[in-house]
Amino acid sequence: MAELTNNGEIDLLLGRMKSAAAPMRGILQELHARYAPVTEGKVADYIPELAKADPNWFGISIVTADGQVFEAGDCLQSFTIQSVSKPFIYGLALEDLGLEPVLARVGVEPTGEAFNSIVLDEVSNRPFNPMVNAGAIATSDLIAGKDFPERVTRMLDMFGRYCGRKVHIDNSVFMSERLTGHRNRAIAHLMLNFGIVSPRLDEALELYFQQCSVLVTAHDLAMMAATLANGGVHPVTGERAIPQQYVKYLLSIMHSCGMYDYAGEWAFRVGIPAKSGVGGGILAVVPGQLGIGIFSPPLDAKGNSVRGVRVCKELSEKFGLHCFESGFTGRSIRDQFTVQRSGRQG
């Protein structure tokens, strides 16, 4: 851009970019319009703060691995990240301890059970994976820091690197999570009994409740996903959020366990590593290509955003995004971006 001194040239370039971006933006706007009237699902209400969410909020954001942004709807509406935080905390634990010590504490097997089920591996006593609450709490226990404030700061800084901005905690959600989190406390104590978490489990629980209460937007989720799609480097700031060698482990665990007890069918039908949260967020990663962030609070019986699941299914089918897709004959999503980057009309 710097070498373009002629205003006419700049106008021409911007004009081309605008018209060429239209196909992808148009596709997202059309998807948004078609799924906005869906009224199925129920907003999470286990704490009063989440029950206040407007069921009509609906945002779809796509960020490519090279930082182009395509959005439709409420992409700047804040909500709490909830379980979408889990793979990222897992990444921080991997960075802090390395793979084998983390695997000694938390497995990588899907459970087929609800995210808050009170179940540990009978032989190893480990939680099955870091996406269920047991595994997530055990993972939070592994986050390094000289004291609790430093551990919280490291957690927030980590989310900040993925989002490309400073993130904050919703204090009332955090207080409610902490006040009502008896089941999570029970799970933590069971793990203490088996020596899976350290005696500072109160800190692990506090950290877990705080990570669930981080405020994000659909735009942020797409940026976080695009950072993973880009090998761990934020596509706009250029900052590394996680060492490259750990990205594949986050994506693997999202692929097999990211969508609660719908994970198997999701991997089968959609085939894109993803994670959802009870706040209504879904984050999905197409490695090397793009990140998807969707926000729509009404959830299905398994806890996944109803509109989010449908939009991802359609994007996967339309653009052949399933990770085991071969011989796709439709128009690839890469073509849509190539159109924009080359400045040619689609």
Task: Say if CB 210 and CB 152 are below 8 A apart.
Answer: yes
Catalytic position from the list 278, 286, 306, 309: 278
Copy the structure tokens of residue 284. Answer: 């999905």
For ligand GLN, the closer CB: 70 or 79: 79
Residue 191 binds ligand GLN, judged by CB under 6 A = no
Residue 94 or 278: the one with the smaller Cβ distance to ligand GLN is 278
Taking the complex as a whole, how short is the minimal distance between the CB of residue 118 and ligand GLN, in angstroms? Answer: 12
Radius of gyration (Cα) for the chain, nearest Å?
A: 20
84 is a catalytic site residue: no
Of the two residues 21 and 47, which places its CB atom closer to ligand GLN in the complex?
Answer: 47
With CB under 6 A as the contact rule, the residue among 61, 68, 111, 133 that binds ligand GLN is 133
Q: What backbone phi and psi angles, to 5 degrees, belong to 250?
A: -65, -45
State the Cα–Cα distance between residues 285 and 140, nearest whole angstrom: 23
The answer to the question of residue 83 lying near ligand GLN (CB under 6 A) is: yes
State the binding string over 291-310 for ligand GLN (x if CB under 6 A, else -).
------------x-------
**Six token digits for residue 142:** 């592994």
262 is catalytic: no
In order, the DSSP letters of 193-241 are HTTSS-S-HHHHHHHHHHHHTBEE-HHHHHHHHHHHHTTTB-TTT--B-
Q: Is residue 212 close enough to count as binding ligand GLN by CB under 6 A?
A: yes
- Binding residues for ligand GLN, rule CB under 6 A, total 11
How many helices (H) and strands (E) in the chain? 14, 7
State yes or no: is 18 an active-site residue: no
Residues 342, 198: Cα–Cα separation, whole Å: 54
Tokens of 202: 């109160």
Tallying the residues shown for the chain, one arrives at 346
| Contacts (CB under 6 A) with ligand GLN, residues 255-284 | 277-278
Catalytic residues: 83, 86, 208, 260, 278
Which residues make up the interface to ligand GLN (CB under 6 A)? 82-83, 115-116, 133, 177, 184, 212, 277-278, 303
